[in-house]
Every structure is written in C-alpha cells, then in structure tokens.
Amino acid sequence: MLYDLGIRSIHRIGGRGWGFWRMTFLAVFLALFLLSFPHGQAASKQSSWQKLLDQSRKAVAAAPQDPDKRYQLAMIYAHEGRVFDAWDELKEVDRLVGGEAGRKSYAQRIIAASATQIKRSPGDILTRYKLAFAYYFIGRKLDARREFHIVVDLEPRHSWSYGYLGYLYAEAGNLDKAIALWEKGVRFDPGNAVLHYVLGVAYVRKGDMKRAAQHFVDAYKDRTLYEYVKGK
C-alpha cells in the first residue's frame, strides 16, 4: 500500500519543467510543515530549546505588540520544525512593522543587531537563525546560505537546518546539493517525514524513480502525511 502510494506520487508530480520545481519547493515545504509531523528528533520537555520556547511564549504573551519578541519566537519555532507556528508569528511581525513599507528596514535592523550579537557569541544558533531568515527576506540568499552552513557545522545532527539549507540550494537551481543536504538530514533523523517527502520529489525530478519511491514509502510511514497525500 505504501509503495503503491509512492508510485502514485511519482506519476502525480512527474513531467514538470524546472521552473515549476524551483517555484514550488517552498510551497511543498510549507504545505508539509503545516501538518506538524512528530519525528524522531522532537525536543523533549527538558531540552534547552523547549525551555527557550516556553520563555519566549511568555514574553510574547506579556508584550504581544513587540515585533522583536515575536520574531524570536518565530525563529525558535522554525528551529524546531514548527513552520506553521513560525509563519503565524512572522505574519504578526509583518503587521506590527507596517507590512511592505516597514519590512525591509525591520529586516535590516535584525541583521545589524544579530551581526553584533554573533561577534560576541559566534556559536549562538538562535541568533544565526534570526540572521539567516532576515537575509532571506530581503533577498540576500547567499548570505542566508552562509549562515545555515555555519548552523549545520555548529549543530550537525539537527535535521531541520539541513532542510532549510537544502531548500535554499533547490531554489537556486542546485538540486544535487539540495539532495545531498536532505539525505544528510534523514540520516540523522530517519523519522523526518518532511525531508523524505521532498527527497522523493527531488528524485522524481532527477529521474531516479527507485530512490523516489523509497523516500515516499519512508515519508508515508507517518500516518498524518499518508492521509494528507492519499486525500489529494
């Protein structure tokens, strides 16, 4: 049954041009991340990131109109693979800074503050997430990639960072590099259904249907993803 669904996925998404793929990788990532899959690398209640998340939620609750507190919460969510929650917070940040009129200046302020913090603490992963996303939002994608390369060096077993970095390469047209990064991510976290799914999509693009089918099978072991795709 899982293999059959994998083959169906190959047929559904095959035959598209590269322009389509480059434009839709982010849509694939967001659509799947919205489902909030459980996976092997989920943070425990005792983890430092969970504690940081709890503190950040309290800070936002105490000052809901503060865009900096919401941006920090968004970056913690992003690190933990909770992109739906991150996206909600970023939409609030965008509203608080005035939308398109204030977006670029806000991102530049985040970049300046984060760069200063990084000089004091080069191993600060959360600040590097803030910096990478801010770079991305104003189109400085090579700088965003550089930051995520540093992040995966600092935290080499965290699969979601490989996911974001791989997406940046896929968006730039370097699918081979994206695949290598996503493969590394699933080696560290074999239960990450999202990375298995985007690997399936990527291997269809490469024409490697055997590997694509296997990654779809691994992705569909997650029942939430299985039911989501089955219903399409």
Residue 22's pLDDT band (cuts 50, 70, 90): very low
pLDDT at 67 over 90: yes
Chain-centroid distance of CA 227 in Å reads 22
99-110 average pLDDT score: 94
- Residue whose token pair is 């896929």: 170
Q: Domain limits of the chain?
A: 1-40+165-232
CATH code at 1-40+165-232: 1.25.40.10
21-33 average pLDDT score: 46
Between residues 198 and 43, which one has the greater pLDDT? Answer: 198
Q: What share of residues in the chain are helix, strand, coil (percent, to 5)?
A: 75, 0, 25
- Determine the 3-state secondary structure of 156 from DSSP: coil
- Determine the 3-state secondary structure of 16 from DSSP: coil
| Chain length of the chain | 232
Cβ proximity of 84 and 36 under 8 Å = yes
Q: How many helices (H) and strands (E) does the chain have?
A: 13, 0
Looking at residue 82, what is its pLDDT?
85
In tens, the pLDDT along 184-228 reads 999 999 988 889 989 998 999 899 999 999 998 898 887 777 676
Q: Which two tokens stand for residue 19?
A: 């322009």
38-45 average pLDDT score: 42
Quickly list DSSP for 34-68: TT----TTPPPTTSHHHHHHHHHHHHHHH-TT-HH
Looking at residue 141, what is its pLDDT?
94
Most confidently modeled range among 2-6, 49-53, 56-60: 56-60
Between residues 14 and 117, which one has the greater pLDDT? Answer: 117
Q: What average pLDDT does the structure give for the chain?
A: 83
Looking at residue 130, what is its pLDDT?
97
Q: Report which of 70, 99, 111 is spatially closest to residue 87, judged by C-alpha positions.
A: 70
Q: Which two tokens stand for residue 113?
A: 């503050």
